[in-house]
Structure 1
Amino acid sequence: MGKQGGDQSLTVTDNRTGKVYTVPISENSIQATAFKAMTAPFKADERPENETDKGLRVSDKGYLNTAVMRSEITYIDGEAGVLRYRGYPIEQLALHSNHLETSYLLIYGHLPSKEQFASWEGEVLHHAVMHSEAEQFCRSFRYDAHPMAILTSAFAYLGSYYAEANPSLQGQSLFTKGDAASLAVMDKQIYRLIGKATTLAAMAYRVRQGRDFVTPPTGLSYTGSFLYQMDHLGEENYTPNPVLEKALDVLFLLHADHELNASSTTVLQTGSSLVDPYSAIAAGCASLYGPLHGGANEAVIRMLISIGKPENVPAFIEAVKKREKVLSGFGHRVYKTSDPRSFIVRKTADEVFKVTGTDELLETAMALHEAAMKDEYFISRKLAPNVDFWSGLIYRAMGFPLDFFPVLFAVPRVVGWLAHWRQMMLQEGGVKIWRPRQIFVGPPKRDYVLIDHREAVKGPKQEPSEIGHSGITKRKRLANFKNKALAKL
């Protein structure tokens, strides 16, 4: 290592060869490609697949310490519990801003003027209306289809309407040129995706309810329009409750972006192939669907339901320590002290409960919170409540079904996905397709064996599992018919 205060570089000695390399340090980071120069000859007993003569590879399973972008959007200090959008503390934005204003900030880099915001809000809400054929698309799903499956599919479906937004049709530099025409096409897709996100989510919701779809209204806010589209049944002068409208707006603002999380990274990975933005957003939505990401707040409620009453909390705590139960809503991949969003959501929950009444699980949640915060097991592991712990209770109090919780996460996160996608499209040097390396540990070269000369390989993970079949399959296997031996049952 260089002397403190000296050159901004890293001195590496390769003990395999004795060679010394100097790696520049820029913005407290080093280029992974610098290690490709650190080659060594093969050892006699070494696998050729290690590719030692082609330089070192950087192994980082799960991206624990790999920076893949230079970004100006969101900053997180997990140790200090800090979250900022474009430099603005999340606490200030939650207090003074709203979701659409913050969306402008995340995408364009600065807070809009009054005139800029009016134009921005007008365009987003104007583009909320869906083509009438979308009704047929959404109705094609079963009545009990998971709303995230509908939403994910709908984003991809949406792209089929806009040939102007497809680089495969318009040329691969469609979004990367950065000229006025390119930016105009990009902005129009941003309007569409943010505007139609609530409409598609409301349609997914009403499929479950067996209700007709509602055209986005005029004169309401972004979240007000969303609530209207979900709940309006023809009542005259229908207006959503302002407390619930505001609470949902705060939650949308808090969920708008969170740096390079799994879904944002998925959007960038997909977008790096220069696919249309609708396909990239659909990919992000699919990533968010997972229980380790967007399904976390749903998991919190299911956990609280399983605990039941507050008096059952101590037994649950002990089961968690024994790894017999999973604790949801505590701890975070990034935050090692506390999630700054959780304090804002807790305050928002109090406002919601004033109009909806206290959720029956609140006492259980409070008991779990108090017990975990006093227990050395959780303190030593820095398992503080995160945003999912309280947001699930708010959604439940507002009457949303559990499987709709991830949708309420996906709708606002469209903004963050678009901000990162736009930044990548316009980055200096253009877009390079993301192509991670691997460490190959499979078999070395081997020769093909004809089927009559092979021995069966059996055991767990070594062969397909046996699965059960329906009654009709059993009956067909007992039946006789022409070419039965060739039929695939």
Structure 2
Amino acid sequence: MGAPATTDSLTVRDERTGKTYSIPIVNNSISATAFKAIKAPKKSGEREENETERGLRVSDKGFLNTAVITSEITYIDGEAGVLRYRGYPIEQLATQSNFLETAYLLIYGALPSSSQFASFEYEVTRHSILHVDTESLFRAFRYDAHPMAMMTSAFAALGSYYSEANPSLQGQTLYTKGDPQSIANMDKQIFRLIGKATTLAAMAYRVRQGRPFVQPPTGMGYTESFLYQMDHLTEENYKPSPVLAKALDILFLLHADHELNASCTTVLQTGSSLVDPYSAIATGCASLYGPLHGGANEAVIRMLISIGSPENVPAFVEAVKRREKVLSGFGHRVYKTSDPRSFIVRQIADEVFKVTGKDELLETAMLLHKIAMNDEYFIKRKLAPNVDFWSGLIYRAMGFPLDFFPVLFAVPRVVGWLAHWRQMMLQSGGVKIWRPRQIYVGSGKRDYVPINSRESVAGFKKEPSSIAHTGQSKRAQLAEHRCKL
């Protein structure tokens, strides 16, 4: 007899009932909803909130192994250290392409012809100018406002200027119809968002310094225009350093997309409600704001500053092993070997340092890199340098303030967010709102108790914290007054 025939399916036997289920395997994945068919009678005394009779739920805290969408955009092999945009290795794109060409690739699926690229570049740069009222928005922020807070607010505010971009006003099929008019409207918003991203970032930078805003120049590349808007004062024929513009262009390319990271997932979660793209991008910006995501390269510099000189590195490494210190810039949620982008960024660093001079933290960083790469503790835990380790040093050498680092991440990532948003809007079968399940472990049904009959539930995390009042707040508490009716 020959070997039994194999099928692309998973056979599951539920020992509670003795029933067997066959679940199809498609693209090496199984449908989580298939487990809803695996039902069992509720046991005696079992919590009704388990919903056992309604089928199994799949628990996956933090989306460690849950696929929520079918995508053709970015592929990552974390075990092999591979990153590809639309099939193209990141190494080839970083050395042969540029940011806007790669943006076209990510959004539309193919590298553009000369005429296609010229048209795309023209539209993006032409849509970089903001409504003059936007200046009032930025001037309303505190002098010390974090630039990412300004960026998040500004992206959301942009949506209020374009009523034709809002499905709440134009109908919920505005972006999902897939006809030429709908796609043209979608692409116009894409041009606007990519074009205005650098303008918003430059305004967030200059408002902190009390400088007047600069209109986007004509005849300059994407990152060159960005640097111009940030730094130009009253000089004639001002032209940013081509070395810095090129380095920033490659860094933007490397940060343009990274599959379903936290911020991209946030954009899609928000976008699934069919909100306008400006609001969706604002939520991505808010997600990127977090220190576990867009603030990682800033954390690297703060770590290196805390270490100080190279002679302090060995003691710091030992403190990391004892879990007394946090190591930033090493390891990655996806990559279990070296981050392929880190090698490219290291090469960029050398080019930048040639014109800016070596950063005073470079020797400390290089020694930390050397020790970590040869220490069994880090090797065993697969803690190799990631893209944030070197990019922070480059941004610092280029003169960007630490709290502006996440902005330099957000501007290029707008492209990736838009690519995934556009793909979701045009996917077969339309858009369904994302609604994850939960596993409820709280109290069962209980009856309301009047306030005079309740027992106090007190303790840490079980009641509001006591807040210390000072200054005017404290004086107001001590004052006597009568409320006006």
TM-score (norm 1): 0.98
Question: What are the residue-to-residue correspondences of 1:289-328 with 2, within 5 Å?
Answer: 289-328=289-328
How far is 1:478 from its partner?
A: 2.0
Gaps of 5+ in 2: none
CA distance 1:117–1:5, shift in 2 (3 Å): farther
- Between the aligned partners of 1:4 and 1:275, the Cα distance in structure 2 is 51
Percent sequence identity is 79
User: Structure 2 CA distance, aligned partners of 1:92 and 1:180?
Assistant: 33
**What's the CA shift for 1:477?**
2.1
The correspondence of residues 74-85 of structure 1 with structure 2, limited to 5 A, is: 74-85=74-85
Question: Does the alignment pair 1:405 with 2:410?
Answer: no
Matches within 5 A, 1:90-489: 90-483=90-483
Give the CA deviation at 1:234. 1.4
Distance across 1 between alignment mates of 2:274 and 2:456: 44
**Which residue number in structure 2 is paired with residue 50 of structure 1?**
50
Q: Distance in 2 between matches of 1:306 and 1:192?
A: 40
Instruction: For residues 107-143 of structure 1, give each alpha carbon's deviation from its aligned partner in whole angstroms, at most 9, with x where no partner exists.
Output: 0000000010000001000000000000011100011
Tell me the distance in 1 between the aligned counterparts of 2:396 and 2:477. 48
State the shift of 1:5 in Å.
7.0
Per the TM alignment, residue 470 of structure 1 is displaced from its structure 2 partner at its CA by 2.2
What residue identity is the alignment partner of 1:97? S
Please state whether the residue corresponding to 1:459 is helix, strand or coil: coil
Alignment: residue pair count: 483
Stretches (4+) displaced over 2 A: none
Alpha-carbon distance between aligned partners in 2 of 1:68 and 1:103, rounded to the nearest angstrom: 23
> Take 2:345 and 2:73, find their aligned partners in 1: how far apart are those partners?
22
Matches within 5 A, 1:1-80: 6-80=6-80
State the distance in 1 between where 2:412 and 2:5 align: 43
CA separation in 2, counterparts of 1:213 and 1:271?
31
d(CA) in 2 for partners of 1:134 and 1:100? 25
Tell me which moved more, 100-109 or 461-470. 461-470
CA deviations on 1:456-481 (whole Å, 9 max, x unpaired) are: 11111100111111221222222222
Query: What secondary structure sits across from 1:160 in the alignment?
Result: helix
- Deviation of residue 4 (structure 1)? 8.9
Task: Tell me, in whole angstroms, the C-alpha distance in 1 between the residues paired with 2:191 and 2:414.
Answer: 11
Report the 3-state secondary structure (helix = DSSP H, G, I; strand = E; otherwise coil) of the residue aligned with 1:76. Answer: strand
Kindly provide the amino acid, as one letter, of the partner of residue 377 in structure 1. Y
CA distance in 1 between counterparts of 2:354 and 2:479 reads 65
Deviations 1:197-229 (A, max 9, x none): 000000000011100000000010000000000
Secondary structure class of the residue paired with 2:161: coil
- Measure, in 1, the Cα distance between the counterparts of 2:17 and 2:471: 66
2:114 is aligned with what amino acid? K
Work out the CA distance in 2 between the residues paired with 1:193 and 1:383.
35
Q: Distance in 1 between matches of 2:214 and 2:207?
A: 12
CA RMSD after TM alignment = 1.0
In the alignment, the residues of structure 1 paired with residue 478 and residue 80 of structure 2 have an alpha-carbon distance, to the nearest angstrom, of 67
Distance 1:306 1:4 in 2: 63
